[in-house]
Structures are given as structure tokens and as C-alpha cells.
Structure 1
Amino acid sequence: MFRYILTGMSALILSPAWAEQSNGDAAAGAALFAQQCAVCHGRDAAGNGPMAGALMVQPSDLTSLRSRNDDTFPTARVVYRIDGRDPLVSHGSPMPIWGELFDGQDAAIKAETGQPILTSRPVVDLVAYLETIQD
């Protein structure tokens, strides 16, 4: 019995989603941002989208994430905010309001600490894009 449990744990730990870390596709992330995020965060990601005025919590300026975090991009915080593990209630619902849109193929990304974070391919792509637009 112990051998079966150990084998199952080994398969989980060595699965491709955990073993391979992704840098993401910034171009795909930019397209996803324009389609799903710009309405609140603005096309320039400065927090000035057309819906910003209707929100109880104003959208962040996403171009200054690195500068507001001691010149380190806060990868883990960004991933958790986007995929809902660190919810932000802005207009009566958690961000992102579209919920399962970011579900998809599992992908791993390295946090700023070097630890792997399992999330989805769209989230990894969005993070890659956000890293490219930092001041």
C-alpha cells in the first residue's frame, strides 16, 4: 500500500506541469489584457479604464508594480490576484469577475523567490505581458 502511495506522489511531483516552468507568451498576454483587462485597467494599464469610475476599489496602475515593490516584480502576488487565490472585491464580486476564463492548461511559473507556482497558461501569459510594461 505504501508503495502505491509513494508511486502516486512521485507521478504528481514529476508531472510536466510542475517540472517545466514557463516564461509565458507576452504577445498572447497583451491580446488577453486588451480583451479582458483594459476595460478597468485601461489600454495603457495605468488604472484608467472606462469602467474604473464605477468600481468601489480603483484599479491599480499595473505599469508600476515593480517600482512599488523595491524593484522586484511581485510575480506571486500578481498570479494570485489574477487567478483568484488572493481575491479583490471591487464591485461586489472578486477580480476577475469572469471567473473560469483563465482556467485552462496548467502551467508553472517561478515566483520572485524562485518557488514554482501552478496556475494556468492564460495567467502565465498575462504575467509575461505585465512584466514587459513596467516603468
Structure 2
Amino acid sequence: MRNPIFIISGLALAAVGLLACTEPTMPDRTDGAAFFADNCASCHGAGGRGDGVLSGGLQTAPANLTMLSRDNGGSFPAARALSYIYGDPEQAHLARVMPQFGGAMAQDLVPVKIDGVLTPTPRVLAGLLAYLESIQE
């Protein structure tokens, strides 16, 4: 009779091998909506219109994120949005109210087509971009 430890260890190794061979899924608007609810809604509001519970106490009003495409000639400004959310290195952190979301999230990248070019993008921000694009009016 085989030792149960060896059987369990073998099954665990097989599962790890299977997971390592599967391609990670791309984040979608649902993933982005969850990130938005946790990190953005308090200022930008649940619907992204800049009317969050903390918006009244801010020196600069949060942007109405549902109007990004309208304000960009009808096209969603993915590159500009990503740059601003991630944290534009050209802009001093103290000059902005919104926190920068770069740093550690740069370890988990997925390819996102930005202005026709596949661009390594933090997974959570790829989902957030998909969500923001989906709420455009």
C-alpha cells in the first residue's frame, strides 16, 4: 500500500504544475469595478461622477470620470488615464490630491493595447481602464 503522504504530495505537485502552465486571465470591467469601489469611489463617487462622500472636503474637485471620452473628442484616453492613475513621474506627488497607484503593482503586468501598441500594464489597472471605458457617457 502506498503512503498517503506521497499520494497527497504528488497530487499537490501536479496541481501546481497545471496552474503554472495555464495562461493568466485578463482582467475585465468587473475586476476594475471592484478596484474602483475599494480605491476610487470615496472621492469620485460610486458612478464615477466626482460626487463621492469625500469630494466636498477636497481642495480640487474630483474629475467626472464618465466624461473622459467626451472631453477627448469621443475617444477614451487610455494612455493619459493610465499615466495619471499609475502616477506620472513628471508630476510631483504633492502637487496632486489623488494617490499614485504604481509601485508594487508593477510586478503583475498584462499586455493592454494602448494607442494601438501592446503595453505592459499592471493587472489591476488594466481592469480599472476597462471599467472606466465602460462607464463613459
* 1:56 is aligned to 2:63: no
What's the offset of the Cα at 1:95? 2.6
Offset of residue 130 of structure 1: 0.6
Letter in 1 for 2:69: R
Number of positions where the alignment pairs a residue of Structure 1 with one of Structure 2: 112
Aligned counterpart, 2:73: 70
AA aligned to 1:134 is Q
Matching of residue 127 in structure 1 with residue 136 in structure 2: no
User: Helix, strand or coil for the counterpart of 1:127?
Assistant: helix
Once residues 88 and 39 of structure 1 are traced to their aligned partners in structure 2, the CA distance between those partners, rounded to angstroms, is: 23
Q: Give unmatched runs, 5+ long, in structure 2.
A: 1-24
**How far off its partner does 1:81 sit?**
0.8
CA spacing shift, 1:98–1:85, aligned 2, 3 Å: closer
Cα pair 2:44 2:62 within 8 Å, conserved: yes
- Flag as ranges the 4+ runs of structure 1 deviating above 6 A: none
Q: Once the 2 structures are TM-superposed, how far is the Cα of residue 55 of structure 1 from its aligned partner?
A: 1.7
Which has the larger Rg? 2
What does residue 12 of structure 1 align with?
A: none
Q: Residue deviations 1:55-96, cap 9 Å, x none?
A: 22211000111111100000000110111026586x765532
Find the residue that maps to 2:49 and give its secondary structure. Answer: coil
The answer to whether the 8 A contact 2:86-2:100 is kept is no
8 Å CA contact 1:83–1:102 kept in 2: the answer is no
2:31 matched residue in structure 1: 28
> Which structure 1 residue ranges, 5 or more long, are not aligned?
1-21
AA aligned to 2:63 is S
Q: Cα offset for 1:116?
A: 3.0
Question: How far, CA to CA, are the matches of 2:81 and 2:74 in structure 1?
Answer: 15
Of stretches 78-87 and 27-36 in structure 1, the one that deviates more from structure 2 is 78-87
Which residue is 2:11 aligned to? none
Q: Distance in 2 between matches of 1:120 and 1:39?
A: 22
